[in-house]
Amino acid sequence: MIVFAAGLLCAQSAKPQSFETGLYPILERATCRACHNPDGVASATRLHFPETDAPATKIEAFGNSLVALVDRDHPDQSLLLQKPTARIFHTGGERIKPGSPEEATLKAWIDHLAKLSGIDLNVALRYREFEDNGAGETAKDAELRRLTHSQYNHTVRDLLGDQTDPANQFPPEDFVNGFRNQSRGQSLSPLLVEGYSTAAERLARSAFRGGDTHGLIPCKASAACRSRFVREFGQKAFRRPLDAGEQSRYEALIDNNALRTQADFLKGAQVVVEAMLQSPNFLFRLDAASGPGATSDPRLKPWATANRLAYSLWDTMPDAELFAAATRGELSTRAGVEKQTRRLLADPRAHEALNEYVTQWLRFDRLTTSSKDRRKFPLYTRETASSMTQEALTFVSDLVWNNLDFMTMFTANYGHVNQELARVYGVTAPAKDFDRVPFPAGSERAGLLGEGLFLAMTAKPEESSPTARGLFVREQFLCQHVPDPPPGVNTNLPPVTEAKPQTNRDRMTEHATNPTCATCHRLMDSVGFGLEKFDAIGARREQVVLEFGSGRGRHTVNLDINTSGTVAGIPNSQFSSPAELGAIIAKTSQCQECMVKQYFRYTAGRVDTAADRPLIRKVTEDFRKSGFRFQEMVVGLTLAREFPDKIEPAPQTPETKKGLAHVASNR
């Protein structure tokens, strides 16, 4: 990294013009960054803009790295010129007008890049390699993470034997980065603090109602028992050993009078439990795996590892065996961590944790809180919505726990159906609810994209929504961020009238013709159009049926549907059905990597950064080699997070190798 930085400074001192003040502002105004970033539609290309707050040195290094897109023998044929001016096909369309002053600045920079040599060229060619290997950054995990509501419920269940799910009464959690467990969104509101207090009082009271029915007291009332209870229960509640000060403070809550009888002792123990359940040491968990946020106290590192494993794989506290492994030091080795990871995956609690992940990743909340026009869609009820979420859980669970190819999620020619869904899909219901049922050959359904959950969730109450469906595919399955619409833009479509009946595709022509809308809607709508044979509840239709008038004057207009779609940014991606779309994206590196990214974001509690690129790359490679077995991906991701120093650097790209050979031959 030091060598690269030194070369960068040397290269800049000899550079005849400034990229930062010349071409860079032009590319920014052309909104190239919106697609050309690690999470953009053009993420698979060789052009990734630096962060918006990048220093001048990095911006200049990025400018020189564009040499990889320059034909040094024929500069006018360079992709760096041909693409943004749309002389050859460019997904983003024309960004720089041919013949304009902006193009002149672009050409001048291309000429400059074509003449790079020596150390300037060497450094420029290594920029992407440098970025792929983390850009010199260090991953920054939050040292402490608050228990999510789901984790709170599961923890008090395993700690106290309480099955009442008290966190369901807490204020709802917000989705941040697509999940409800992100550290950036885990603030403590006054209402939540009050909820914790009320829950702690009730849980402690219930724990000893009728005596020590849950076996929390390991001994008979005595001074020695007081010390043992605080030590053993405290270690479970805080998921680490108590220090001497904590031990003394909690022992003091059980006064000497409480040592006379077991009944008195239980009253004192209840006070200890209530106090511990309100402590930050219970409500927050040690988590950081590496980097500046990692646990600094070496004595606590094994316990932090145990916390990460348990809450990632079980959504609850560590069990006795995981605590014992931490005590023995086994969690400091790859073999020890892998052994515990595989053990945890084999436990039923791992199924519960997977369901929580899937529920958030696939945004079940959007369906369960939505409604549909009952007059248009009489088949859709609350039970139908519940069945759709259960089908998705059953489908994903089958792929994971039976070690099937996880990318089959997008290509499977079957669903898991009950009576409710059978009516929507037009198939015969199985004898047992949610058994596997093949989709009819002509249904054009496949995988999640053909299931009711996705199709109904990404629709409006009265009609389908190509934009919402395209956006969901981009964000959840390709991990591509589509910018929000500019402030003040009217997002309403023109109404359908009897004088001018139109399909959604016809109504959305404004998206394609208005420059303010076109750039982003081209990325979403073109995906959603290919799914238009499925209505707002996921039932198949051959035509759009529009109703006008009322009573005796009521009549319908049937319109043919154009279902030609494409995924901008993916070559040869024309499709016209969920089955065809699923087959396309399942094969792409973007979708395969996204499966890793989404699970990383969920378990790490934060979005991935430049520093995480080597980890994401390594885990994705191993995921691919395993035949896309999700359990193997979980093991690989766990080991990579725990032992990041074992990750090999990214190999040089063909352009880098070719360019460096050119440098060597001209020395």
- Give the tens place of pLDDT for each residue, 502-558: 888 888 876 667 766 767 778 899 999 999 999 999 999 999 888 887 777 788 888
What three-state secondary structure class fits 293? Answer: coil
- The percent helix, strand, coil of the chain (3-state, each to 5) is 55, 5, 40
Total count of domains within the chain: 3
Q: Determine the Cα–Cα distance for residues 398 and 111; give it in Å rounded to an integer.
A: 56
Residue 367 in domain: no
Q: Determine the Cα–Cα distance for residues 164 and 152; give it in Å rounded to an integer.
A: 11
What pLDDT does 545 receive? 86
Q: Determine the Cα–Cα distance for residues 646 and 639; give it in Å rounded to an integer.
A: 9
Contacts of 397 (CB under 8 A, 6+ apart): 351, 354, 355, 358
What three-state secondary structure class fits 437? Answer: strand
Residue 602 in domain: no
Q: At what angle do helices 301-313 and 320-328 cross, to 10 degrees?
A: 150
- Nearest C-alpha neighbor of 596 from the set 617, 614, 610: 617
What pLDDT does 387 receive? 98
Q: Determine the Cα–Cα distance for residues 45 and 568; give it in Å rounded to an integer.
A: 13
Does this model's pTM top 0.95? My answer is no
Residue 428 in domain: yes
- Claim to verify: residue 457 and residue 328 sit in the same structural domain: no
Q: Determine the Cα–Cα distance for residues 320 and 236; give it in Å rounded to an integer.
A: 9
Please say which residue of 586, 619, 647 terminates a domain.
586
Q: Determine the Cα–Cα distance for residues 418 and 424; give it in Å rounded to an integer.
A: 10
Please say which residue of 556, 586, 616 terminates a domain.
586
- Claim to verify: residue 201 and residue 324 sit in the same structural domain: yes
- Claim to verify: residue 129 and residue 156 sit in the same structural domain: no
DSSP for 72-96?
SS-GGG-HHHHTTTTSS--TT--SS
**Would you tell me how many other CB atoms lie within 10 Å of the CB of residue 239?**
25
Residue 643 in domain: no
- Claim to verify: residue 90 and residue 173 sit in the same structural domain: no
- Claim to verify: residue 230 and residue 117 sit in the same structural domain: no
Radius of gyration of the chain measured on its C-alpha atoms: 29
Instruction: Take residue 325 and report the two structure tokens written for it.
Output: 């492994």
- Nearest C-alpha neighbor of 461 from the set 380, 562, 400: 380
Is beta strand 435-438 parallel, antiparallel or unpaired with respect to 543-548? unpaired
What three-state secondary structure class fits 416? Answer: strand
Q: How many residues does the chain have?
A: 667
- Nearest C-alpha neighbor of 535 from the set 378, 363, 377, 368: 377
What pLDDT does 652 receive? 60
Residue 187 in domain: yes
- Claim to verify: residue 203 and residue 327 sit in the same structural domain: yes
Query: What is the extent of the structural domain holding 262?
Result: 144-350
Contacts of 602 (CB under 8 A, 6+ apart): 179, 181, 357, 360, 361
Q: What angle do CA 540, 546, 547 make, to 5 degrees?
A: 125
Is beta strand 284-286 parallel, antiparallel or unpaired with respect to 144-146? antiparallel
Please say which residue of 532, 563, 586 terminates a domain.
586
- Claim to verify: residue 423 and residue 548 sit in the same structural domain: yes
What letter would DSSP give residue 475? I
CB 358 within 8 A of CB 178: no
- Claim to verify: residue 128 and residue 176 sit in the same structural domain: no
Residues of the chain with pLDDT under 50: 1-16, 290-293, 659-667
Contacts of 281 (CB under 8 A, 6+ apart): 237, 238, 240, 246
DSSP for 527-566?
HHGGGTTB-TTS-B-SEEEEEES-GGG-EEEEEE----B-
Residue 358 in domain: no
What pLDDT does 1 receive? 42
Strand partners, 544: 559
- Claim to verify: residue 206 and residue 250 sit in the same structural domain: yes
Residue 637 in domain: no
Taking CB atoms within 8 Å and a gap of at least 24, the contacts of 114-121 are 114/67, 114/70, 114/71, 114/72, 114/75, 114/78, 116/64, 116/67, 117/663, 117/666, 118/663, 118/666, 118/667, 119/7, 119/10, 119/11, 120/11, 120/14, 120/15, 120/64, 121/67, 121/659, 121/662, 121/663
Residue 610 in domain: no
Q: How far apart are the first and last CA of the chain?
A: 23
What pLDDT does 553 receive? 74
Where is 408: in which H helix or E strand?
none
Q: Determine the Cα–Cα distance for residues 551 and 236; give it in Å rounded to an integer.
A: 68
- Claim to verify: residue 106 and residue 160 sit in the same structural domain: no
Q: What angle do CA 606, 608, 614 make, to 5 degrees?
A: 140
Q: Determine the Cα–Cα distance for residues 133 and 143; give it in Å rounded to an integer.
A: 24
- Claim to verify: residue 549 and residue 440 sit in the same structural domain: yes
- Claim to verify: residue 169 and residue 126 sit in the same structural domain: no
Instruction: Take residue 495 and report the two structure tokens written for it.
Output: 């109404």
Q: Determine the Cα–Cα distance for residues 485 and 31; give it in Å rounded to an integer.
A: 13
Q: Determine the Cα–Cα distance for residues 337 and 333; give it in Å rounded to an integer.
A: 6
CB 271 within 8 A of CB 265: no
